[in-house]
Structure 1
Amino acid sequence: MRPYLLQGHERPITTIKFNYDGDLLFSASKDLVPSVWRADNGERLGTFNGHKGTVWDLDCDRFTTRLLTASADATCRLWKCETGECLFVFNHRGPVRGVAWAEGSRKFATISDPFVEHNSKIRVFDCPENGDLTDDDVMEIDLPKIGGKRVNPTNIQWTGNNEDLLVAFDNGEIRLYDPETGDLKEEIQAHDKKINRLRFNRDKTLFITSSADFTSKLFDPVDLKHLKTYRTDRPVNDAVISNKKDHILVGGGQDAMSVTTTSGKVGKFETRFFNMVYEDEFGSVKGHFGPINACRSYASGAEDGYVRLHLFDKDYLDMKDPVPEEDEAEEVPPTSQ
């Protein structure tokens, strides 16, 4: 693979996302300034200046006209993609951890951390392209303590046709909320530890989780059925379902607090490739000097402050995935009578 090293951020990368058409890449980091890059050559096209805290998440609308950013400065900001102009500031009561456009780009949802006496919250806002904007909630869901402990949301996504809000939590739970009423519709214990990220495939028929329990899991969004598990020997910070092949790309690494005491080889800072169906690892790509905090198909952003943009070569695109031998597939274990 031919990598481009995108050097523009001064602090660790928190998230990266391609726009719908795949020709632009948006990145956010702890340096407060989100950036946009050209996906074919890694050229930085511009920045979005205004936040006063770490930018934890971002999301671009369907036609790449407006960008949403979620920040530790307790705001979510709406930007004009073409010029970098800040169109509106949506104020929150605590650090904003995640943001996601609804399909149609007329609404969006945010999740915020607890702050002082305020609990974690999910908020849904109206955001018409042509019309007055306010930071009044369309709907707000309060997330109270469970067993005396605060359980914080880590990631939020809309399911297909905006039917539900899918929210991941730091206790390993996934919950499904009604975006109109705020009612909790379903919850599952997906992981033993914190879920760092939750991502859908392009048509929202599958989603994948990344967890500090060293696993990444594939789920059916209709019934939250667990389908596959991809096991590693390190915390998983992000994972993505490839839109080119039946592959899963997993990124993570040793805890960031210990990075300065070990080499990249020991810290295991590579993106690992798994076969989606058979769950086996078949390859990896190295290059980062810190834990990979974000990956998309295929770009990666890490604690070292760099975004690595890879272009798949012909060998990978032409590669045929191995399948079980026919005699093994037909072999059936004996059953007791």
Structure 2
Amino acid sequence: MVRFTSKRPILLQGHERSLTQVKYNAEGDLLFSCSKDDTVNAWYSHNGERLGTYGGHNGTVWTLDVDYQTKFLVTGSADNMMKLWDVETGQCLYTWEFLTAVKRVAFSEDGELIVCVTEQRAVAQGAIRVFKINRHDGRIQDPEPISLFHPIGTKATLASFGWDSKHIITGHESGKVAIFDAKTGEELRANEKAHHEPVTDLQLAPDRSYFVTSSKDKSARLHDSRTLAVLKTYTTETPLNSAAIAPLRPYVLLGGGQDAMSVTTTSLRQGKFETRFWHKVFEEEVGRVRGHFGPINTIAVHPDGRSYSSGGEDGFVRVHFFDVSYFKARPYGDLEAEE
């Protein structure tokens, strides 16, 4: 196993509390971050300069997503609100309000729809809603979803549109992953034992044909988007909070660490606060990158595959740029076909 070296990372200091999600836009020139404070930030990904702040939530911002044109940003918060923003001006265009916290939001690939997961509490069932977005005037939106359904049994904590806008892939507290019809809410397929503990992250490959999940059960798994078949398993010795698929190279990136309550009783090394690189095909760990002083909560890889960002319990976002060693590394020999 190698310690992948990267050029000196850029440290982004724009949050006062632990990070909850980081996300690149489609072009990769911007990076968005949200945290357990009520702030959402936008950064230039190449130099870490802060472009702006989206202020308006009154609690932990759990989740965000940006559409394919970098026109709209959507955020979900513990203040029970989902907000639509104009990326360029920072103006809040529209606010949807619910009875419970918004745990996950995601745009469809064409930017026409938003899927939203709300928390299960005594006052309301956990729900998945799909909203049709007015892209011509962001200030005029339908307050009612075009689809609303309540997953039966274990509550959903994550959701994303699948290989098309007609299907939603979900991750659940029990470790289950499932596919739902976005229009009818019918559960089309489920893998009840995809994980043994809560699913903590779900990210699709660029072509959406497969996706990776991470879990508190100390493993990450690669799944087929249409069948939910487990393709590969990456087993670690620490709970995982995030997993991402790297373009260009055959790697998945995993991040996690002991829960925050346990951090004060352990050393940095024991805490396993490293981004871990696993070979996507051979299911073996091939490298690590150190940096955070607490569990890694969220990882995103730049669309061009030449850098990645991680957000930690320590309140920092670290942007890492891979050097030549990352692209030239051949942990299993030269995989290029000979002429």
Q: Is TM more than 0.5 here? A: yes
Q: Quote the offset at 1:56 in angstroms.
A: 0.7
Aligned partner of 2:332 in structure 1 is 322
Determine if contact 2:195/2:215 at 8 Å carries over to the other structure: yes
Aligned partner of 1:291 in structure 2 is 295
Aligned partner of 1:330 in structure 2 is none
TM-score, normalised via structure 2 length: 0.92
Question: Aligned with 1:167: secondary structure?
Answer: strand
Where does structure 1 differ by over 4 angstroms across 4 or more consecutive aligned residues? Answer: none
Aligned partner of 1:202 in structure 2 is 206
Structure 2 counterparts to residues 1-337 of structure 1, below 5 A: 1-2=6-7, 3-131=9-137, 132-144=140-152, 146=153, 151-189=154-192, 190-297=194-301, 298-323=308-333
Determine if contact 1:55/1:71 at 8 Å carries over to the other structure: yes
TM-score, normalised via structure 1 length: 0.92
Q: Quote the offset at 1:309 in angstroms.
A: 0.2
Q: Quote the offset at 1:261 in angstroms.
A: 2.5
Larger mean CA deviation between 214-223 and 256-265 belongs to: 256-265
Unaligned runs of 5+ in 2: 1-5, 302-307
Q: Quote the offset at 1:320 in angstroms.
A: 2.7
CA distance in 1, matches of 2:100, 2:121: 5
Q: Quote the offset at 1:321 in angstroms.
A: 4.1
Q: Quote the offset at 1:263 in angstroms.
A: 2.4
Question: Aligned with 1:265: secondary structure?
Answer: helix
Q: State the one-letter code of the partner of 2:215.
A: S
Structure having the higher Rg:
1
Q: Quote the offset at 1:202 in angstroms.
A: 1.2
Question: Aligned with 1:181: secondary structure?
Answer: coil
Larger mean CA deviation between 152-161 and 230-239 belongs to: 152-161
Determine if contact 1:252/1:291 at 8 Å carries over to the other structure: yes
Unaligned runs of 5+ in 1: 326-337
Determine if contact 2:170/2:178 at 8 Å carries over to the other structure: yes
Q: State the one-letter code of the partner of 1:296.
A: A
Aligned pairs, how many?
320
Question: Aligned with 1:41: secondary structure?
Answer: coil
CA distance in 2, matches of 1:135, 1:258: 42
Q: State the one-letter code of the partner of 1:171.
A: S
Q: Quote the offset at 1:161 in angstroms.
A: 2.1
Determine if contact 1:124/1:179 at 8 Å carries over to the other structure: yes
Q: Quote the offset at 1:116 in angstroms.
A: 2.5
CA distance in 2, matches of 1:253, 1:244: 27
Q: State the one-letter code of the partner of 1:322.
A: Y
Determine if contact 2:99/2:123 at 8 Å carries over to the other structure: no
CA distance in 1, matches of 2:286, 2:184: 44
Q: Quote the offset at 1:323 in angstroms.
A: 4.5
Aligned partner of 1:329 in structure 2 is none
Q: State the one-letter code of the partner of 2:74.
A: L
CA distance in 2, matches of 1:287, 1:242: 19
C-alpha RMSD of the superposition: 1.4
Larger mean CA deviation between 265-274 and 114-123 belongs to: 114-123
Q: Quote the offset at 1:324 in angstroms.
A: 9.8
Question: Aligned with 1:310: secondary structure?
Answer: strand
Q: State the one-letter code of the partner of 1:305.
A: G
CA distance in 1, matches of 2:166, 2:115: 13
